[in-house]
Structure 1
Amino acid sequence: MIRFENVSVTYDGVPEPTVQGVDFEVPEGELVLLVGPSGVGKSTVLGAVSGLVPHFTGGTLRGRVTVAGRDTRTHKPRELADVVGTVGQDPLSHFVTDTVEDELAYGMESLGLAPDVMRRRVEETLDLLGLAALRERPIATLSGGQQQRVAIGSVLTPHPRVLVLDEPTSALDPAAAEEVLAVLQRLVHDLGTTVLMAEHRLERVIQYADQVALLPAPGAAPVLGTPAEIMAVSPVYPPVVDLGRLAQWSPLPLTVRDARRRAAPLRERLAQVEPRGTERYVTEPSTRPTADDAPTAPARWRLRRRPSPLPSPSPPPPQVAEARSLAVRRDRVQALRHIDLTVVPGETIALMGRNGAGKSTLLAALVGLVAPTSGSVRVGGAVPHRTAPREVVRRVGLVPQEPRDLLYADTVAAECVAADQDAGAAAGTCRALVRELLPGITDGTHPRDLSEGQRLALALAVVLTARPPLLLLDEPTRGLDYAAKARLVGVLRGLAAEGHAIVLATHDVELAAELAHRVVLLADGEVIADGPTADVVVASPSFAPQVTKILAPQKWLTAAQVREALR
């Protein structure tokens, strides 16, 4: 159905091909997963299938890509629209109408389908993706995950023979991701739809793939094989494979079920060991002087571990942020209600919950982008929505879901210079952070030429330049591979150790397990759970990481914890 014949793509102004030596076939009715580190060209390979590369992106495509017998060099995207449905990393760039129902119908209208056919397919798709309650909602009022589901639905309604998906579950909560993947599996198995998909969250998708195409490095030829074969050699792999490699299981398990069947001996070895990382955390003033040591500057704090239980009495640490009886109404939607939340220095909190639960709205309230309908928010003693933006930036920084909202310069170097100036930081501060988060990115690179994950890392570096006492991140691992995520975790741990408070809204249960001291679960705008990470996620089938599911009832969260215990 899809055939790559010695394909290479070189973009204008770039000396080396972004991808080359791409030569493989995707048979009809199979799901092929495209994997590899960030920036190796996965989106370019996908774009070559839909015709966006090179007709829209520019550059030079050598070799040949055919889809259902049509050569993408001679067929523009609109001439492939009846065969190929495409969903990119950014759903906002996908939409052309204002409401959910109109968006689902738009593609069929473009193809001239009969009204009764359109009506039936819209209803089917609303039910398949759990969008029926949102059918009349303006797309602009939806959460990022809800928008992602609408984008996927809009390409399903025309019933294309080929689906090209770039990070389709990146903004979805675990339950919604399972629903979408179940729909894709049904399309593949029952209708013979061909799916080519790139995804970094392999723990969600690897078990659904018929074949895996690994792009090991920029410009390297892909390696094709079964999921088990590729996971044995891949530089990127999910926690279940990491644990399998650690325990030397052969063949490597790809699912929690397979791993649990082999895990009894490992559980016995770990039974007498307490997982590290479950201790209570407290903060105390750092003895190290900082440049901010001034009466009006926020105090630096460092994190130290103290075994549970805490001695009593213990003086409470100062608060970086506090919400009391917070309620926020946005248009017709009650986004938050009765929220009580306290954030202290050195603490990392993961906000979790299904799409539309209110996570992004809570972050927006903490940074002053939305005003409370009732209740109060204070950050560093100030009311953020009543404080001048220049003052707010010194107290709190937000990295939004869409990093392009923070990036406006023509090069990485210009972004860094502007960030240093805005933050009043020493020259080179932002560039040093970029080198740590994005090794190998040159000064002259345009932000739009970066992958989604690389743009997010650049936006994070811009925000971190001001070193705000409170850092807010909205889906910070969207588009990041496991190596990039590990670098991000290292940076955020260092900031927490220096006393920065971090609140991140995420659907990435593996990130929460790796990084968060506390998990706050939201549902319909209310807090339904708030406690230590191990306690909250172990009790939740939806939000438990893979290692926890495999080794339950023991409270292990990550393969790194297990590796340390076995030394």
Structure 2
Amino acid sequence: MIRFDQVTFTYSTADLPTLRSVDLHVGEGELCLVTGRTGVGKSTLLNAVNGLVPHFTGGHLQGSVIVAGLSTATAPPQEFAPVVGVVGQDPLASFVTDTVEEELAYGMEQLGVAPPVMRRRVEETLDLLGIAELRRRPLRTLSGGQQQRVAIGSVLTAQPRVLVLDEPTSALDPTAAEEVLAAITRLVHDLGTTVLIAEHRVERVVQYADRLVHLAGDGRVLDGAPADLMRTSDIAPPVVRLGRLAGWDPLPLSVRDARRRAGDLRDLLRAHQPPAQRTPEPVPAVAGTTPAPGAATARRPAQAAPPVPASSATATSSATAGHGHGHGHSHGQDHGQGGGPALSARRLVVAYPDTTAVRGVDLDLRRGEVTALMGRNGSGKSSLLWALQGSGPRRSGTVDVAGTDPGRVPPRRARSLVGLVPQTAADLLYLHTVDAECAQADHESRAPAGTCRALLDSVAPGLPGARHPRDLSEGQQLALVLAVQLTAAPGVVLLDEPTRGLDYHAKETFARLARRLAGEGRAVVVATHDVEFTARAADRVVVMAEGDVVADGPTPDVVVSSPAFAPQVTKVLGPQRWLTVEQVQQALEAA
């Protein structure tokens, strides 16, 4: 179905090829998982399938790409529309109509499909993806998982033979991700659709994959059976790393397979207890195309747009660009461990015209603690973060940070008390060079010249000062935003989905960074759907549902008992309270 023959591709601005001598043959009805560290060329490989590379991206392509008998060298990309369906990372950004039914029909209208055929295909797709009850719903009122299924449906109505998905679960909670993956596997098994998925959260997908394609980072592409490549892959989910540690052969790819093998390991670990958390760890610098450690804070959230849910079904966060860093006067303030909580919120209510996103929440954030804020899409996490920072709407309630309510003081002062990273940190970069961003942060924070640059170099050294921020990789942009915000030294740091788009290595680095920030005496909150990151970094987990806090406690107490938020190691070794492979390794080494 898909054939790459000796494909080498080099972007016009690059010195070295992104893809080098790639030979890849994907058969009909295969589910193919594409893995690799950030920036190694996964999106390039996917875009070559329908000719967007090189016809729209530019660059030089050698070799041939053949899909369903069509060559990307001779057929223009529009001819691939009925053959290859592409779903990007952000489904909402790709929608062009207002309702589910209209979106499903739109692609067929562009292809000139007859109205009776369109009607039949819409009904079939609604049933196939289990979204028939959503047919008349406005797209912006859907949850993240529902939006993703509609995005898939909008390309399926054209009945493509190949479906290409770029991180389809990155923004989804665990339950919504399972719903989307169930729909995808049904397409493979029932319709024989060939599916290519690029996904950083390998633990969610690898058990369903027939083939694994791994980009090594030097242009080479390795492919084969998932269990074979996972033996040596540097991108491996916890269940695979646990299998390597235990010496299991064959390696398990799913929790079910691992649990069947884990009886002896559970017996061995019964006499041990997971190590107590936590101590700050050194943060290795991250450079090049690999992401820097994920942006802990963002600039001027008070002037970016707070989340405005379109309906009672969802409350989405949108951080559009504002101007002026507005960092405040607190450079060098004390973040010591003494005294009361770093932030105390009481009876906090956030309401929009058609929904109440946060319902009377009480929350204390303690110095030196990393808190994971979890919950399904639309549960109110982003609205709560914006209200705590002082920028978002608040109907009632109070927030106290060092005797000051951030929502009752000028934006500059609020930002010096509480720093917030919105979901899209790059929206907050607006100057023309890295040096200009750093200089502006120093000026507006009243910090000594060079403070921001020193912070940037501590997490991502060597970024060229003359480079435009929009030309940086995603991880490098996050590192720059981190440095800008930390220049103001806020005592409370809030992060909204900072690990989206980061590979395992970058998330490990970011986990160490979160621990370091907490070790400096800050209160750190990370709103996330990433249960593996939570297990690695968080001292405490707060779970929200429909605007309420439904669980709050130490990480093991909350996640061990939760089928949705438990990490893979916990599922394999439960009821024992192990959270990470590293904990198990320490226990085995001490045995």
Q: Please state which band the TM-score falls in when normalised by the shorter chain.
A: 0.7 to 0.9
Aligned counterparts, 1:391-540, within 5 A: 391-435=413-457, 437-438=459-460, 442-443=464-465, 446-540=468-562
Match of 1:357 in 2: 379
1:301 aligns with 2:352: no
Match of 1:203 in 2: 203
Match of 2:36 in 1: 36
The one-letter code of the counterpart of 2:546 is D
Match of 1:189 in 2: 189
Q: Which moved more, 1:415-424 or 1:175-184?
A: 415-424
Distance 1:546 1:506 in 2: 16
Offset at residue 322 of structure 1 (A): 2.5
Offset at residue 490 of structure 1 (A): 1.1
Q: CA RMSD in A?
A: 2.9
Distance 1:62 1:387 in 2: 59
Aligned in 2, Cα 1:425/1:231: closer, same or farther, shift over 3 Å? farther
The one-letter code of the counterpart of 2:345 is A
Distance 2:404 2:132 in 1: 41
**Contact persistence 2:211–2:226 (CA under 8 A):** yes
Q: Percent identity?
A: 61
Match of 2:224 in 1: 225
Number of matched residues?
A: 542
Aligned in 2, Cα 1:413/1:55: closer, same or farther, shift over 3 Å? farther
1:260 aligns with 2:263: no
Offset at residue 63 of structure 1 (A): 2.4
Offset at residue 150 of structure 1 (A): 4.1
Match of 2:109 in 1: 109
Q: Which moved more, 1:366-375 or 1:165-174?
A: 366-375
Q: Unaligned stretches of 5+ in structure 2?
A: 281-328
Aligned in 2, Cα 1:391/1:549: closer, same or farther, shift over 3 Å? same
Matched residue of 1:32: which SS? strand
Offset at residue 191 of structure 1 (A): 0.5
Aligned in 2, Cα 1:439/1:124: closer, same or farther, shift over 3 Å? farther
**Contact persistence 1:513–1:557 (CA under 8 A):** yes
Offset at residue 407 of structure 1 (A): 2.2
Offset at residue 187 of structure 1 (A): 0.5
The one-letter code of the counterpart of 2:213 is A
Offset at residue 349 of structure 1 (A): 1.0
The one-letter code of the counterpart of 1:244 is G
The one-letter code of the counterpart of 2:170 is S
Distance 2:7 2:119 in 1: 40
1:54 aligns with 2:76: no
1:247 aligns with 2:246: yes
Distance 1:392 1:260 in 2: 48
Aligned in 2, Cα 1:462/1:48: closer, same or farther, shift over 3 Å? farther
Name the TM-score, length of structure 2 as normaliser. 0.84
Offset at residue 40 of structure 1 (A): 0.7
Structure 1 residue ranges, 4+ long, deviating more than 6 angstroms after superposition:
294-297
**Contact persistence 1:328–1:374 (CA under 8 A):** yes
The one-letter code of the counterpart of 2:83 is V
Matched residue of 1:301: which SS? coil
Distance 2:86 2:509 in 1: 30
Q: Which moved more, 1:246-255 or 1:196-205?
A: 246-255
Aligned in 2, Cα 1:439/1:479: closer, same or farther, shift over 3 Å? farther
1:269 aligns with 2:300: no
1:21 aligns with 2:21: yes
Name the TM-score, length of structure 1 as normaliser. 0.87
**Contact persistence 2:438–2:484 (CA under 8 A):** yes
Q: Deviations over 1:121-169 (max 9, x none)?
A: 5555556656667655655566666554443343333332111111111
**Contact persistence 2:145–2:177 (CA under 8 A):** no
Aligned counterparts, 1:75-154, within 5 A: 75-119=75-119, 121-122=121-122, 125=125, 139=139, 147-154=147-154
**Contact persistence 1:436–1:487 (CA under 8 A):** no
Q: Deviations over 1:456-510 (max 9, x none)?
A: 4443343334332111111111111111111111111111001111111111000
Matched residue of 2:501: which SS? coil
Match of 1:306 in 2: none
**Contact persistence 1:50–1:164 (CA under 8 A):** no
